[in-house]
Structure 1
């Protein structure tokens, strides 16, 4: 990952891909909420920016536990190999209905967040170019072309949260994924981060 990002098709173990895909398909619609931007008091629903629906993964289900256990092993591996100091992880299921999108954005702004590494996995079979919904990962704020990632089943995308603006193009069919972020510990005596 010396480029600051990694895109690996079918990298998520098949058993975990199947477990998470099945779980997401069986989730009740009421478990999903319209996504917003910001955190805490700055949280805002803004359909100009994004229109997807999300459900945070807490580890209360068998699938959630399996996912968080796999991610914990990945965190140990990344800390040992890349010395990133990753401290915690948060993630959610994401569902993009036909027409949904997420405009160009950063997952973290330099010096303002403790999100260090973004992680996305996909759960979509037989995805065609006409289905849209690609992740576009831009090299920097000036890049207008980007790298398009087809959201195919089991593909894992990881990138440095502060370095890569990205967007999700409008999907033409239901699109399923998990988005997550490894975080640093920036807690202080008068402030717990991330806030609960």
Structure 2
């Protein structure tokens, strides 16, 4: 984890026990946002991988839904993505997947979450790109338990837009209060996939991230942490 997380006195991350900090935040308030939490060198490697895949025309338009119900809906989301695969030999992918497994193992022990796997993709939003309000957990397959997003955008300012808007009232959803988070390079946000509505606001320039989910078994019922 030390090769990925950044040991900085300016970061609120508890590097002595980061896994416990994640678990505690998932209990209450249900989310954790940290600026400058990831090593700049690791962010640069992820960015180069995304740019390499874009040059190779390996990005695909993201859709909504799952399985046969998956469809591209440009009025809902406008990003293009590249899925990470366990067999990918890229060191940055190997290291990230290992970190996700470490976090997953800890949350299984600490919160008794039925976590079985990880899925994630690099995402690129074009200028003006957005993603309308949504939950990350599919209605027909409630396997996604924990959302983890890392941002890759250097020198990002309020004027660049592209904030992640997280709706914080679990009952009111998009009719309730919200918090906006800028997608600064090195920032990371973690939250309960089934509970928090969120959206990506329009960005004034291309926006990059690594978005993924810790998942339960396909036959597991929804288990939320309260």
Question: TM-score normalized by structure 1?
Answer: 0.88
Structure-1 separation of matches of 2:189 and 2:218: 25
Farther off after superposition, 145-154 or 87-96: 145-154
Residue pair 1:135, 1:151 contacting (<8 A) in 2 also: yes
Asked if 1:184 corresponds to 2:216, the answer is yes
Change (3 A) 1:163 1:13: same
Identify the residue that residue 50 of structure 2 maps to in structure 1.
24
Question: TM-score normalized by structure 2?
Answer: 0.77
Compute the displacement of 1:76 (Å): 1.8
Residue pair 2:36, 2:186 contacting (<8 A) in 1 also: yes
Change (3 A) 1:69 1:61: same
Count of residues in Structure 1 that have an aligned counterpart in Structure 2:
188
Structure-1 separation of matches of 2:139 and 2:31: 17
Identify the residue that residue 4 of structure 1 maps to in structure 2.
30
Structure-2 separation of matches of 1:36 and 1:81: 33
**Secondary structure, aligned partner of 2:115:** coil
Query: Which of these residues, 159, 183, 187, is aligned with residue 130 of structure 1?
Result: 159
Identify the residue that residue 89 of structure 2 maps to in structure 1.
61
Farther off after superposition, 93-102 or 57-66: 57-66
Unaligned runs of 5+ in 1: 189-196
Asked if 1:38 corresponds to 2:65, the answer is yes
Q: How does 1:91-170 map to 2 (within 5 A)?
A: 91-108=120-137, 112-139=141-168, 140=170, 141-170=173-202
Larger RCO (alpha carbons 8 Å, 6+ apart): 1
Alignment root-mean-square deviation, CA: 1.9
